[in-house]
Structures are given as C-alpha cells and as structure tokens.
Amino acid sequence: QKEVEQNSGPLSVPEGAIASLNCTYSDRGSQSFFWYRQYSGKSPELIMSIYSNGDKEDGRFTAQLNKASQYVSLLIRDSQPSDSATYLCAVKANAGGTSYGKLTFGQGTILTVHP
Amino acid sequence: DAGVIQSPRHEVTEMGQEVTLRCKPISGHDYLFWYRQTMMRGLELLIYFNNNVPIDDSGMPEDRFSAKMPNASFSTLKIQPSEPRDSAVYFCASRLGQGAGGYTFGSGTRLTVV
C-alpha cells in the first residue's frame, strides 16, 4: 500500500461546478496534511493545510479531514479554468521519529476545468 | 523574500558526466529538502537536512547521488556519473522549524541526460 494515495483522475469538470479531490494515507499517527497545486512546468504551491478533524475553508477551497478514516479531501467550489492543474496531497510524518518534518506526496490528480 | 532559489533551471548533459544542482533556501529556514519528480514516480524525497545536518537520506537512489549543505544558505545535489534514467525535475524546498506548516519549493531544475 502506498503511503499516500489520491484518486487517479484525470478529473474534468465544467466551469462553475464543484471539483472534489480525494486522498488517503497509511500512517495513522500523521498529524499534518496539505494540498499543493502544481501548474504544468511549475513548482508545487501550497494552497491549504489542515490539522484537525472537520472542515477548513479558504475562499473557494475547503479541505476536509477524517483521521479515523485516514482520509483527506479538497473541494473547489465555482471551479474556474484557472484552477486547471495537478493537485498534490501531502502528509507530514508523525512526530518522534527521524523522519519528522518530512512530507510524503501522493501521485497527484490532474484537474481540468472546461468553459 | 526571494524564495527558494535553484540553479540551473535546465541542464542537459551526456551520460557519464557529473551534474551539480544548487539550492539557496529562504533565509532563516532550518530545514532543506531535495525532491525528484517524474511522471512515473511522482514527487520523491531524496534527502533532507536540519541545521545543515543530513537527517534522512533513505531516498537517495544509489551511491551516484550525493548531497551537501556546507552552510545555512547553500546546498548541492551531485550526480556522478549521470545516467539517462536520472532525467527528471529536481526540486529543492525549505521550511522553518518543526511546527505546523508546509514547505516552500524552488522553481526546480529540469535535468536531461542523453
């Protein structure tokens, strides 16, 4: 089992729709979770972080965390063509080990928002 | 804040040659990470440093890869000898402290080994 798995995609949604991106992780002790956006040919850019169970909203983006199910998701409301990118889920290793501070990334989900 | 600075942006080299990638982290950041990204394997952590000391190099593919951080503002990733399968985008990232928060990535170096 991969440490961080994302829905394989690619995901295509019409402009104005809600895009839903999902991620599961294997380390039950993980405490910090991140969503990065990566445009083609560019570096990953942090867009959301979440640490507690529940929802966290930032503008059109909502991150959801369920530690019992080891599940993280990102919802993008009112999707725009400019949201078309690869979205990477990242999980930070549990405290106490030598790998503390290390982020493990999923394979990414390619999102296309068509007009 | 100039962000994480990597050089060169692109590197094309012949198989067997030595390649050196460079990174300047954000001033004050005490963690530095080297990642490699390919279509097949995604983003893989190669090695990371804390206060210039290598902490975890378990992701370094083999002895041909080495990384150093001689001071808080500079790190290198060296491949010697290079092979075509090393072709990838190499990212450097930095962060401050062990608290919550993600990394800031540099623009990456696209390496092509022919």
- Could you state, in chain order, the average pLDDT of each consecutive group of 10 residues for chain B (114 residues)? 91 97 95 94 93 92 94 97 97 83 91 98
Q: What is the per-residue pLDDT across A7-18, written as a single tens digit (0 to 9) for each?
A: 877 999 999 999
Q: Measure B39 CA to nearest chain A CA, in Å.
A: 9
How far apart are the C-alpha atoms of A83 and A37, rounded to whole Å? 9
Confidence of residue A98 (pLDDT cuts 50, 70, 90): low
Backbone angles phi, psi at B84, to 5 degrees: -55, -35
What are the phi and psi torsion angles at A43 (to 5°)?
Answer: -90, 160
A-chain CB neighbours of B95 within 8 Å are 101
Contact A63, A54 (CB under 8 A): no
Joined together, the tokens standing for residue A46 give 């942090």
Nearest to B100 among A51, A90, A103 (CB): A51
Q: Can you name the residues that pair with B114 across neighbouring β-strands?
A: none
Tell me which residue has tokens 């068509």.
A114
Q: Torsion angle, CA of A39/A41/A46/A50, rounded to 10 degrees?
A: 70
Using an 8 Å Cβ cutoff, are A19 and A113 in contact? yes
| Subunit contact B105:A32, Cβ cutoff 8 A | no
Decide if B34 touches A, using CB distance below 8 A: no
| B114 reaches A (C-beta below 8 A) | no
Task: Suggest the residue from A3, A40, A43 to mutate for an interface test with chain B (most B CBs closer than 10 A).
Answer: A43
